[in-house]
Amino acid sequence: MPYIAARDLTIEFPLYHLGARSLKKRILAHSPLRLRQDEANRVVVSALRGLDFRIGAGERVALIGRNGAGKTTLLRTLAGVYEPVGGRLEVQGLIGSLIDPAAGMDQESTGRENITLRGLFRGLDEAESAVMAEEIGAFAGLGEFLDVPVRSYSAGMQVRLSFAIATVMAPEVLLMDEWFLAGDAEFREKARVKLTKLVKDADILVLATHDLGVVREWCTRVIRLDAGRIVEDGPVEAVLAAA
Amino acid sequence: MLDQIEAAAPLYIADAAAPRRQEKAIADLATGFRRWRLPAALARLDIKNRYRGSVLGPFWLTLSTAVMVVGLGILYSSLFKLPLEEYLPFLAVSLIVWNMISAIVADACVSLTSSEGIIRQLALPYTVHILRCVLRNALIAAHSLPLILLVFLACGVMPGAEALLALAGLVLVAVNAFAVALFLGMVCARFRDIAPIVASAMQLAFFLSPVLWKPELLGDRQVWLPLNPFYTVMETVRGPLVEGGVAPLIWLSAGLYTLLACAVAFAFFVRFRGRIAFWV
């Protein structure tokens, strides 16, 4: 059964290119909260500090918190991009991440080429990707623009293509940033149907969002992050009522 | 359809107390090579994007190499007092192989930083980015290598069957390219001052290595040449083509340097793989 288990999970970003010693001192003196010096005398930002949680199959978790609270960093860590500096993380199950819409998108290539490329990123071969291209093109409503470089797309078309490419999957653990809830009005309804299906089919959903309406509609549990720590964790109504 | 491929390894564990670095580094290399289609497609894309809208595309490099070979050939054959039809094949092979090596080294410095956007968003094996760098340089080199044949035809010289050994030399260059791209890619991602240092070191190496001049010109001091890794690795390609073969000592030296490069790169990769995402 898919699950996510984190014990004392810690992520720190070293600030490597800070330069002069005096500048370093000044920064450390003025913001003692999340910037600190590690053993090797580097200035590090504590992005996630000692998180403990376990998410079981069937749970729909919303990550909420102010900008910079660590929501996206936590999603990327769960996706395997950042290796924890301290603690332990276990993720069982096929991970699908909807974090950055444009990841791996090449502006100069056509929509179809981008779909093939994304297929390769996922480990498909060209033939499988070609089949996928028609499906994605139809869903994104690109029509003849499928064979035009992405650079010449309107912003809305780019969003639609990214969304369509990113959501062709059936993951067990779905990691999603709130970007995917945005989109133009015409496309939104179609997107919503697709996302709802994706969310329903996944065993675990972890969603970073500010939109409390979405939290109430989709989620069963809320984790509130503040300055890299978990400050609240519980059923939706309990956490939202306290706020 | 999509799940089947990746379903094989669904458990992801990252434990800071028991990092299992070597195991992960080997898995990274194995997965990266198994998925060679991805770096190959990305390398093709890099070339396409670099020369988009250009009429000659990568053949501009072929053209400029051809002009350089002819120009330098005429100048240096009279400086060194060598007959042109003897010097030109040597220079053509030298310059083309050297250009390939120096392009790889320069590109190796950005093998990881140029894929920063992907590294920070998708959990791919880092080997994919390294292979992408090696393959795009191989593609560029493939546009210039045929020039060698052209010069041979023009000068009326043809190497014998031993020329096939140059293929072994090219394999050696490719292995070195991978090791260097891995090592320099990591070091340059962490320390941004390394790339300019590498660039000036390569310029120095160009004049210190027998690229324009023949090794025989060194006289007695020729015995020290096998210590120069640039020379020995280059010679494994050049020797079979223009000098009728390569001395066993050169092969030995080139082989040892290759092993050394691979060992250092692997050791670094094992130790610092987990930090790359924070560096780029």
Q: Where are the domains of chain A?
A: 3-93+207-242, 111-202
- Decide if A122 and B5 are in contact by the 8 Å CB cutoff: yes
Chain A segment 18-77 residues within 8 A of B by beta carbon are 76
Which pLDDT score is estimated for B1?
35
Alpha helices for chain B (secondary structure H): 3-6, 21-34, 37-50, 59-79, 84-108, 116-119, 126-144, 146-155, 165-190, 194-208, 229-242, 248-272, 276-279
Question: Is some CB atom of chain B closer than 8 A to the CB atom of A91?
Answer: yes
Q: Distance between alpha carbon A134 and the CA centroid of its chain, in Å? A: 26
Question: Is some CB atom of chain A closer than 8 A to the CB atom of B200?
Answer: no
Question: Tens of pLDDT along B130-147?
Answer: 999 999 999 999 999 889
Task: Answer yes or no: is B2 within a domain.
Answer: no
Min mean pLDDT across A39-43, A141-145, B52-56, B196-200 is at: A39-43
- Decide if B123 and A88 are in contact by the 8 Å CB cutoff: no
Partners of A234 in the β-ladder: A222
CA B166 to each of CA B9, B20, B169, B170, B178: distance values in angstroms, whole numbers, following the listed order: 40, 39, 5, 6, 18
Quote the CA–CA distance of B46 and A210 in Å, as a whole number: 38
Q: How distant is the Cα of B80 from the closest Cα of chain A, in angstroms? A: 48
- Decide if A103 and B277 are in contact by the 8 Å CB cutoff: no
Task: Answer yes or no: is B11 within a domain.
Answer: no
- Residues in chain A predicted with pLDDT less than 50, given as ranges, are none
Token digits for A232?
A: 């609240």
Which pLDDT score is estimated for A156?
77
| Residue B226 confidence (pLDDT) above 50 | yes
Mean per-residue pLDDT over chain B, rounded? 89
| Residue B188 confidence (pLDDT) above 90 | yes
Rounded to the nearest 5 degrees, what angle is found at the Cα of A123, between the Cα atoms of A117 and A128? 70
Nearest one of B77, B84, B131 to B108, comparing CA atoms: B131
Chain B residues inside the 8 Å CB shell of A90? 11-13
Choose from A94, A108, A177 for mutation: most chain B CBs within 10 A: A94
Token digits for B226?
A: 């096998």
Task: Answer yes or no: is B10 within a domain.
Answer: no
| Residue B4 pLDDT class (50, 70, 90 cuts) | very low
Looking at residue B20, what DSSP letter applies? -
Classify the phi-psi angles of A181: left when phi > 0, otherwise alpha if psi is within -120 to 50, otherwise beta.
Answer: alpha
Q: A226: exposed, middle or buried (C-beta count within 10 Å: 0-12, 13-18, 19+)?
A: middle
Name the residue of chain B whose CA is nearest to A107's CA: B49
| Residue B239 confidence (pLDDT) above 50 | yes
Task: Answer yes or no: is B1 within a domain.
Answer: no
Q: pLDDT above 70 covers what percent of chain B?
A: 96
CB B217 within 8 A of CB B76: no
Q: How distant is the Cα of A243 from the closest Cα of chain B, in angstroms? A: 32
| Residue B5 confidence (pLDDT) above 50 | no
Choose from A4, A17, A76, A81 for mutation: most chain B CBs within 10 A: A81
Which pLDDT score is estimated for B238?
93
Name the residue of chain A whose CA is nearest to B192's CA: A17
Quote the CA–CA distance of A237 and B127 in Å, as a whole number: 46
| All residues at 6 or more sequence positions from A20 whose CB lies less than 8 Å from its CB, including other chains | none
- Decide if A81 and B277 are in contact by the 8 Å CB cutoff: yes
Question: Tens of pLDDT along B142-178?
Answer: 999 889 999 999 888 888 888 889 999 999 999 999 9
Question: Is some CB atom of chain A closer than 8 A to the CB atom of B27?
Answer: no
Q: At B255, is the secondary structure helix, strand, or coil?
A: helix
- Decide if B119 and A85 are in contact by the 8 Å CB cutoff: no
- Show the domain range for B30: 20-45+58-213+222-279
Question: Is some CB atom of chain B closer than 8 A to the CB atom of A87?
Answer: yes
**Total domain count, chain B:** 1
- Decide if B12 and A90 are in contact by the 8 Å CB cutoff: yes
Question: Is some CB atom of chain B closer than 8 A to the CB atom of A141?
Answer: no
ipTM for this model? 0.81
Please measure the distance between the N-terminal and C-terminal CA atoms of chain A and give it in whole angstroms: 33
Instruction: Select from A79, A85, A123 the Cβ nearest to the Cβ of B5.
Output: A123
Q: How distant is the Cα of A21 from the closest Cα of chain B, in angstroms? A: 17
Question: Is some CB atom of chain A closer than 8 A to the CB atom of B45?
Answer: yes
Question: Is some CB atom of chain A closer than 8 A to the CB atom of B124?
Answer: yes
Choose from B12, B36, B50 for mutation: most chain A CBs within 10 A: B12
| All residues at 6 or more sequence positions from B242 whose CB lies less than 8 Å from its CB, including other chains | B89, B90, B93, B159
Amino acid at A56: G
Question: Is some CB atom of chain A closer than 8 A to the CB atom of B55?
Answer: no
Which pLDDT score is estimated for A125?
75
Instruction: Select from A83, A106, A125 the Cβ nearest to the Cβ of B14.
Output: A83
Choose from B2, B37, B51 for mutation: most chain A CBs within 10 A: B2
Chain B residues inside the 8 Å CB shell of A171? 3
**Architecture of the domain defined by A3-93+207-242:** 3-Layer(aba) Sandwich (3.40)
Instruction: Select from A13, A81, A108 the Cβ nearest to the Cβ of B123.
Output: A81
CB A133 within 8 A of CB A112: yes
Which one has a higher pLDDT value, B255 or A69? Answer: B255
Task: Answer yes or no: is B274 within a domain.
Answer: yes
Q: If you count residue pairs, one on A and one on B, with CB atoms under 8 Å apart, how many are there?
A: 109
CB A3 within 8 A of CB A57: yes
Task: Answer yes or no: is B6 within a domain.
Answer: no
| Residue B7 pLDDT class (50, 70, 90 cuts) | very low
- By residue count, chain A amounts to 243
Task: Answer yes or no: is B207 within a domain.
Answer: yes
Question: Is some CB atom of chain A closer than 8 A to the CB atom of B269?
Answer: no
Chain B residues inside the 8 Å CB shell of A168? 2
Question: Tens of pLDDT along B82-137?
Answer: 888 889 999 999 999 999 999 999 999 999 998 888 888 888 899 999 999 999 99
- Decide if A81 and B119 are in contact by the 8 Å CB cutoff: yes
Alpha helices for chain A (secondary structure H): 21-30, 71-79, 111-122, 126-140, 155-166, 185-201, 212-218, 236-242
Which one has a higher pLDDT value, B202 or A42? Answer: B202
| All residues at 6 or more sequence positions from A73 whose CB lies less than 8 Å from its CB, including other chains | A11, A47, A48, A82
Task: Answer yes or no: is B154 within a domain.
Answer: yes
Quote the CA–CA distance of A236 and A95 in Å, as a whole number: 24
Chain B residues inside the 8 Å CB shell of A126? 37
Q: How many CB atoms lie within 10 A of CB B232?
A: 26
